[in-house]
């Protein structure tokens, strides 16, 4: 279960203490998953961004990465509105939940392997709760690898590629997308059209 007081990664816990001193109004704690607990779509991001989820306490909220994500979720009927502004803005996800592979803000946006591993228990609980036929949408290769590891599967049998689709135990499906980070969208490694196609596929799998 998500632990709002988790301090199991010393580097991250200390970093959050420092960030809280510098930005007292920020959430600066582990960021809980957001959305419908019985959702069939689970979107897995990397980790909270400093001035986004780490500030607001809701995944992908307050920074650039969330703009395209919530717009696209809304277009495919997974969000009540196209924008996520704050944890108390009333936005609702529909048959969708968003979480991160790492729940705490990492320095330089880069969690180390031990932190990704330490946080996997929380992700595993979220994955365990998914119904048959659910879709796990991994944003980026770190999220993808952590999902594969959480299921106890071998990485070499599940290679990350944008748009790739992998069968998971329990009739679930893992869909891969490049992460919707500012870097990826501004360099057009990930275009709106590419991202839209991934969500269209998730919708087709769920409705099929």
Q: What is the smallest separation between the CB atom of 75 and ligand URA, expressed in angstroms?
A: 19
Distance CA 28, CA 21 (A): 9
Asked if 122 touches ligand URA (CB under 6 A), the answer is no
By C-beta, is 119 or 133 nearer to ligand URA?
Answer: 119
Q: How far is the CB of 179 from ligand URA (least distance, A)?
A: 6
Measured from the CB atom, the residue of 30 and 48 that comes closer to ligand URA is: 48
* 111, 21 contact by CB (below 8 A): no
Nearest to 39 by CA among 178, 121, 167, 134: 134
User: Could you tell me the smallest distance in angstroms from the CB atom of residue 64 to ligand URA?
Assistant: 8
Q: Which of 9, 12, 16, 46 forms a contact with ligand URA (CB under 6 A)?
A: 46
Q: How far is the CB of 86 from ligand URA (least distance, A)?
A: 14
Residues 99-118 that bind ligand URA (CB under 6 A): 100
| CA atoms of 99 and 39, how far apart (whole Å) | 12
Spatial neighbors of 86 by CB under 8 A, at least 6 apart, are: 56, 58, 61, 62
Nearest approach, Cβ of residue 105 and ligand URA (Å):
9
11-19, 58-66, 158-166, 188-196 -> range binding ligand URA (CB under 6 A): 58-66
String of b and e for 103-114 (b: at least 16 CB within 10 Å)? bbbbeeeebeee
Given 32, 52, 57, 106, the residue binding ligand URA (CB under 6 A): 52
Q: Which is nearer to ligand URA, 87 or 202 (CB)?
A: 87
Pick the piece of the chain touching ligand URA (CB under 6 A) from 10-18, 55-63, 83-91, 117-125: 55-63
Asked if residue 116 lies in contact with residue 110, where contact means CB atoms within 8 angstroms, the answer is no
Cα 133 to chain centroid distance, Å, stands at 19
Instruction: Return d(Cα 147, Cα 120) in angstroms, integer.
Output: 8
The residues that touch ligand URA, with contacts defined as CB under 6 A, are 45-49, 52-53, 59-60, 63, 65, 100
């Amino acid at each position: 279960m998500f632990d709002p007081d988790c301090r199991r990664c010393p580097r991250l816990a200390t970093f959050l203490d420092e960030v809280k001193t510098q930005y007292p109004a920020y959430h600066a704690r582990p960021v809980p998953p957001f959305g419908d607990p019985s959702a069939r779509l689970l979107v897995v991001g990397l980790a909270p961004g400093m001035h986004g989820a780490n500030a607001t306490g809701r995944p992908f909220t307050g920074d650039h990465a969330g703009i395209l994500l919530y717009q696209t979720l809304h277009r495919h009927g997974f969000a009540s509105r196209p924008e996520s502004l704050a944890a108390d803005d009333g936005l609702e996800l529909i048959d969708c939940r968003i979480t991160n592979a790492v729940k705490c803000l990492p320095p330089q946006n880069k969690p180390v392997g031990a932190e990704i591993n330490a946080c996997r228990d929380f992700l595993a609980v979220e994955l365990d709760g998914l119904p048959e036929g659910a879709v796990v949408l991994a944003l980026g290769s770190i999220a993808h690898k952590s999902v594969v590891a959480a299921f106890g599967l071998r990485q070499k049998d599940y290679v990350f590629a944008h748009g790739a689709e992998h069968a998971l135990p329990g009739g679930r499906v893992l869909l891969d997308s490049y992460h919707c980070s500012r870097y990826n969208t501004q360099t057009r490694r990930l275009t709106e059209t590419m991202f839209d196609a991934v969500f269209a596929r998730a919708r087709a799998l769920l409705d099929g």
